[in-house]
Structure 1
């Protein structure tokens, strides 16, 4: 497929720039099998903990070729992910812990989770890992029909699950939970909060799941009000991020507060505060302020706000602290 050039996407996002999912051909068993047997086919492994395998001497994914797959895991059914640079990409879910450990030794590989290696991997491989992890999580969690309780069988190369009860026969699709995350601004300061279990000094933008019958903008206003007591007016879309930890889509926003009154309502946050750009600069410098991990869209929202408000680059501030 032709490559599209866009600004740097959030971590795990931008997969459409390198992968054609070829969703219209997932039901064509003969075609999918032909892709799997191709010398260009590559297989990504996901272990029982949702980790994958890394090359022993570099921070890149350890893919199996079709010959390795047949030799090591020939009895394991693969799920088709799509075509990357016209080359087939599949995933293999390993549910047995001992088998996963044996493979690690046989391949001379090492394993890592999405949080640990998401920023170490090349952007396209991080996106493919996130895609595979999210799909495998749904497959593992969706074993019985929620309508009649009968076993489900995976179809469409792992992207749908069909009820085996002929009287039911319902089809089930991968689940993604929508969540909103927002940086709220009021007269030159932004609203950030922290939870009790976080590292000392860590603050993040506010977030929460979308409820039934709720628009994304209304979810932003409700979540901010519930967590901090702050009332929000204008809400504008910023960007989104697949977040398969385990199965969310984070939809990022910027918003304007109507006042700075803080009243913690649902006790989800230990603290919520307003920060000026200078507060953040000084806090990062003396170690009293830790932003969210660069892996997250929360980091990107704060990065955007600092750049818009004061021409500051969050990456540079963090790097200066580390040096």
Structure 2
């Protein structure tokens, strides 16, 4: 695959699904639709489909304040964000200064641009891009990999500037995914819409995400997609018996696929993942390797 135009690294990023979802949209006459990513994260699927010209608009929703602020500034305060990236040293001292923003729980507690930079900074300097993790190289920076090894300022700024050209067809929202989607019912009636749900992993979510799901949250998502009208959707999950049980009586289609996560060219994790949809799902082509 050609290089992804995306400024974020992200645990569980599903770039491997872009071609599959693109083909699914085409098979169901959904190209040109309004594409929803209610668990935006790196927004890798929607952004690539938008760059291909295969969707008409992208609606992102992200509960994590740092990630919401980042995407909001990419599209609404581009120059200021790029200037801050250029002017800020990528050091362990900066990492320690940015730590205060990991404690922010409300958008009125800090400047949006500061939150946006913190989201990008932790994503590019922490282990595997996990916002709650420690920095690459450790606090004492004793590793041969330093904190700045994944922070190529020129490349990140170039990508942000390229993405900002899509600002007129992208919406960014800060909300709980299901709360936000429940406000969109009228839109589903008047527009051709498709949603890609990529909720926190069932097995490892609490280790990776700042906002992870309880069993009740996973149940709530299953109930939502069962009851929503006039919306086509697909969900990607880790393949866990609990999750399969939630959708077994909904009439949803299932398709397993295998994803290997690698770091520094070594396999870290192998596992079967699961696609669930209210559309017919063709077989997934092959085992996919994702780099962290």
Q: Which interval holds the TM-score relative to the shorter structure?
A: under 0.3
TM-score (norm 1): 0.23
TM-score (norm 2): 0.24
Which structure shows the bigger proportion of residues in helix conformation?
A: 2
Which structure shows the bigger proportion of residues in strand conformation?
A: 1
Larger radius of gyration: 1
Structure number with the bigger relative contact order (C-alpha 8 A, sep ≥ 6) is: 2
